[in-house]
Amino acid sequence: MLKIIMGLVYGSCTSTYSSILREHVRTNELCRIYSEACIELCNEMGIKAIDLWTAFRKQEDWLTYFTDGVHLSGSGSKIVAEEILKVLKEADWKPSLHWKSMPTEFSEDSPYDLVSSDGKTTLNPSDWTFHREIQWD
């Protein structure tokens, strides 16, 4: 479950692997009902909602996005990150919370920066763009 109160974003609950959690009374049906109620409440309150239930159920093999039926795998975390970034990019908040809109904190040169090839100066990586497996645009 994800909550970002500063920007008022709420993430609904994800699906679960019911056979593992049956004794704990956490079924997919209860998670769906809870998720829908949370999304409805967010809409009533004007809070941006991230519908993780639907995002995971869209996946053909959604069980592989969990390590143990509850905790997300690396690929499950990517789905959550993509859904969060969609909301942050589309939101009209001031200031914007999208990563490209935020200023770099502590961007001044530092003696702890990378040493340049000349061995004397340093390279400040603060404004570099690092390419990832998933581009956040």
pLDDT digits (tens, 9 = 90+) for 113-128: 888 899 888 888 776 7
Contact 27, 68 (CB under 8 A): no
Whether the model clears a pTM of 0.75, i.e. scores above it, the answer is no
Task: Give the structural domain span for 13.
Answer: 2-124
User: Is residue 23 in some structural domain?
Assistant: yes
Nearest to 12 by CA among 37, 46, 42, 35: 35
User: Is residue 134 in some structural domain?
Assistant: no
**Mean pLDDT across 67-84:** 87
pLDDT digits (tens, 9 = 90+) for 51-64: 888 888 888 888 88
User: Is residue 137 in some structural domain?
Assistant: no
**What burial letters (b/e) apply to 33-49, b meaning 16+ CB within 10 Å?**
eebeebbeebeeeebbb
pLDDT band, residue 35 (cuts 50/70/90): confident
Helix H or strand E encompassing 2: strand 2-4
**Mean pLDDT across 66-75:** 85
pLDDT digits (tens, 9 = 90+) for 1-30: 444 433 445 555 555 555 555 555 667 788
Separation between Cα atoms, residue 76 and residue 90, nearest integer Å: 22
User: Is residue 60 in some structural domain?
Assistant: yes
CATH number at residue 88: 3.40.50.1110
Q: Peptide bond before 95: cis, by omega within 30 degrees of 0? A: yes
User: Is residue 129 in some structural domain?
Assistant: no
User: Is residue 41 in some structural domain?
Assistant: yes
User: Is residue 133 in some structural domain?
Assistant: no
